[in-house]
Amino acid sequence: MTKICCIGAGYVGGPTMAMIAKKCPDVQVTVVDINASRIAAWQTDDLPIYEPGLDEVVKEALGRNLFFSTEVDQAIIDADIVFVSVNTPTKTFGEGAGFASDLQYWELCARRIKEVSTTDKIIVEKSTLPVRTAEAMERVLHSGDNPVHFEVLSNPEFLAEGTAIADLENPDRVLIGGHETPSGQKALQTLVDIYATWIPRERILTANVWSAELSKLTANAFLAQRVSSINAISALCEATEADVGEVAHSIGTDSRIGSRFLKASIGFGGSCFKKDILNLVYLCESYGLQEPADYWRQVVIMNEYQETRFVTNMLHNMFNTIAGKRIAIFGFAFKADTGDTRESPAIKVCRKLVGEHAKVVVSDPKAIENAKLEMPDLLDQIDFEKDPYAAAEGAHAVAILTDWKEYKELDYQRIYDSMAKPAFIFDGRNMLDHQALFEIGFEVYSIGKGLKTHLK
Ligand code: UDX
Ligand code: ADP
């Protein structure tokens, strides 16, 4: 029986391993983490992450061929294949601070694997890593006189949060990078065979390790660039009375451009986009490629502009003062269908509103706990209220920051009646029926359309 160990039971490791276990009943999958409460939670009905459909997948395999454990060493010793799926945040210190990936967790894992292994293993990079990390890892793994052979593969994860289960079940593609040596190709084939259990072979792409590593960064940079591109146009739309929704629709029907990832918003968030682009910028710079570095850096600068612009618009439209005004934030997660708040634009928006002395009330169906963790210094200045109606009561403005579908279905007449007047709605996700809101009496601001006002 093939035995897999996955180090890191987070947003990537947990769902990915649960899917492999579900689809391959004859493979034993053990997910380990140093975070004991996370490991405990994976074995309850209250999983540590919210992801639609994940509960059923875990339930089906848990205890059969899917195990969660804090016994990291034992799981490594037993495994034929070790996936490394630990966090690789942006470095906050030293060389490359603010840009480069912090590889300390990854390297600790490599050292641990080297230390305890007594048999040959395939090591799979699942975490997003800078190009040529595999080379450094191989040096760590093979240092000293260890007779054990490790073959490093890169198998970047393309799942998006909120749709992780569908993405894992039916991916556009799976990418596996391996060395062009006989042992590299043999390892690559072993992993291809696992995925081929449920994914058509033609969707399993193979490449060299460096291409696979770079493809992950490039995919995220291209996706983020589309969001920044349409957001750049949204500012121009507001200045010219063009409608960003109409522009996005028109260009999206060009099959060369395509319709997805053209939704203007308060900006992209999530654990990947910003981190991966900064990582790409750092890589370009470290190879002396200043213009490519500047080109990609602009995608992040544009995103920060969009977040800031949203708050500035709130302030200007609300008569240049929001001090003492209650503002209800609808949605704190970085996107719908997740409780994840990493790099959520809501963090910056809330901080700036508090900076203007507004009374901020945060509402979200799944992300209140994480929202508190993002703003530990502001807990005495921000209220948290799960019920959006209660959050909006007495507020001067509602700001929609996450595209939760429940926000489409609220009774906005009821919300309007309970608010201070004039009542503003700032739709940071362009998801509501703006004409209907305007007819209720709201002052309605939306991205790339500007303010519809009753006040002249
Ligand atoms: C992303 C990639 O899609 C995925 O392939 C990769 O593995 C990890 O990074 P994720 O961060 O989970 O996934 O979410 P994604 O759906 O890509 O959205 C990222 C951000 O962009 C969100 O804040 C979202 O609201 C925003 N976005 C997305 C827009 O503002 N407009 C769009 O049109 C699309
Ligand atoms: P991602 O979104 O990439 O999955 P997460 O932060 O959700 O990132 O998950 C990474 C997990 O890796 C965390 O639960 C963390 O505790 C775990 N982790 C980090 N370093 C180690 C390590 N050396 N051994 C085991 N687990 C680790």
| H runs (alpha helix) in 330-383 | 345-355, 368-374
Q: Could you tell me what percent of the chain has a pLDDT over 90? A: 91
Widest pairwise Cα distance in the chain: 80
- Spatial separation of the C-alpha atoms in residues 385 and 395, rounded to whole Å: 13
71-75, 86-90, 424-428: least confident range: 86-90
Binding pocket residue ranges, ligand 1, CB within 6 Å? 157-161, 220, 223, 227, 261-263, 265, 268-270, 272-273, 334-335
148 in contact with ligand 2, CB cutoff 6 A: no
- Spatial separation of the C-alpha atoms in residues 438 and 440, rounded to whole Å: 5
Q: Which residues are catalytic?
A: 272
Residue minimizing CA distance to atom 2 of ligand 2 = 11
Q: What's residue 29's pLDDT?
A: 98
pLDDT band at 183 (very low <50, low <70, confident <90, very high): very high
CA–centroid distance, 86 to ligand 2, in Å, is 4
Q: What's residue 133's pLDDT?
A: 83
Q: Are 203 and 171 in contact (CB under 8 A)?
A: yes
Tell me which ligand sits closest to the C-alpha of residue 338: 1
Q: What is the pLDDT of residues 344-386, one digit of tens each?
A: 999 999 999 999 999 999 999 999 999 999 999 999 999 999 9
Query: pLDDT averaged over the chain?
Result: 96
Is the pLDDT reported for residue 223 higher than 90?
yes
Q: Could you tell me what percent of the chain has a pLDDT over 70? A: 100
120-129, 246-255, 277-286, 350-359: least confident range: 120-129
Among 51, 247, 265, 278, which is best to mutate for testing ligand 1, by the most ligand atoms less than 8 A from CB?
265
Q: What are the boundaries of each domain within the chain?
A: 2-199, 303-452
Q: What's residue 131's pLDDT?
A: 76
CA–centroid distance, 122 to ligand 1, in Å, is 30
pLDDT band at 290 (very low <50, low <70, confident <90, very high): very high
Interacting residues of 380 by C-beta distance below 8 A, sequence separation 6+ = none
CA–centroid distance, 447 to ligand 1, in Å, is 18
9 in contact with ligand 2, CB cutoff 6 A: yes
Among 16, 19, 33, which is best to mutate for testing ligand 2, by the most ligand atoms less than 8 A from CB?
33
Do 2-199 and 303-452 fold alike per CATH?
Answer: yes
Is the pLDDT reported for residue 128 higher than 90?
no
Tell me which ligand sits closest to the C-alpha of residue 51: 1
The count of other CB atoms within 10 Å of the CB of residue 52 is 14
Is the pLDDT reported for residue 54 higher than 90?
yes
At 425, phi and psi to the nearest 5? Answer: -125, 130
Q: Are 66 and 31 in contact (CB under 8 A)?
A: yes
Q: What's residue 396's pLDDT?
A: 98
Protein fold of 303-452: Rossmann fold (3.40.50)
Q: What's residue 296's pLDDT?
A: 98
Using the 8-state DSSP alphabet, how is residue 426 labeled? E
pLDDT band at 136 (very low <50, low <70, confident <90, very high): confident
The C-alpha torsion from 53 through 57 and 59 to 63, rounded to 10°, is: -160
**What letters, b where the CB count within 10 A reaches 16 and e where it falls short, cover 324-344?**
ebbbbbbbbbbbbbbbbbbbb
Q: Which atom of ligand 2 is nearest to the CA of 342?
A: 2
Q: What's residue 169's pLDDT?
A: 97
More confident residue, 145 or 370: 370
CATH architecture, domain 2-199? 3-Layer(aba) Sandwich (3.40)
Is the pLDDT reported for residue 15 higher than 80?
yes
16 in contact with ligand 2, CB cutoff 6 A: no
Is the pLDDT reported for residue 130 higher than 80?
no
CA–centroid distance, 109 to ligand 2, in Å, is 10
Q: What is the pLDDT of residues 259-275, one digit of tens each?
A: 999 999 999 999 999 99
CA–centroid distance, 253 to ligand 2, in Å, is 40
Residue minimizing CA distance to atom 14 of ligand 1 = 160
Tell me which ligand sits closest to the C-alpha of residue 76: 2
87 in contact with ligand 2, CB cutoff 6 A: yes
85 in contact with ligand 2, CB cutoff 6 A: yes
pLDDT band at 252 (very low <50, low <70, confident <90, very high): very high
CA–centroid distance, 127 to ligand 2, in Å, is 9
Q: Tokens at residue 105, please? A: 């967790």
Is the pLDDT reported for residue 129 higher than 80?
no
The strand pair at 2-7 and 150-154 is best described as unpaired
Its pTM stands at 0.95
CA–centroid distance, 270 to ligand 1, in Å, is 7
pLDDT band at 100 (very low <50, low <70, confident <90, very high): confident
Q: What is the pLDDT of residues 17-38, one digit of tens each?
A: 999 999 999 999 999 999 999 9
Q: Which H helix or E strand runs over 316?
A: helix 290-317
108 in contact with ligand 2, CB cutoff 6 A: yes
Could you tell me where the beta strands, DSSP code E, fall in 323-411? 326-330, 359-363, 382-384, 397-400
The strand pair at 443-446 and 450-452 is best described as antiparallel
Q: Which atom of ligand 1 is nearest to the CA of 167?
A: 5
Q: What's residue 388's pLDDT?
A: 98
119-128, 135-144, 391-400: least confident range: 135-144
The strand pair at 66-69 and 121-125 is best described as unpaired
Q: What is the pLDDT of residues 146-159, one digit of tens each?
A: 789 999 999 999 99
Q: Tokens at residue 121, please? A: 């293993």
Q: What's residue 102's pLDDT?
A: 87
pLDDT band at 103 (very low <50, low <70, confident <90, very high): confident
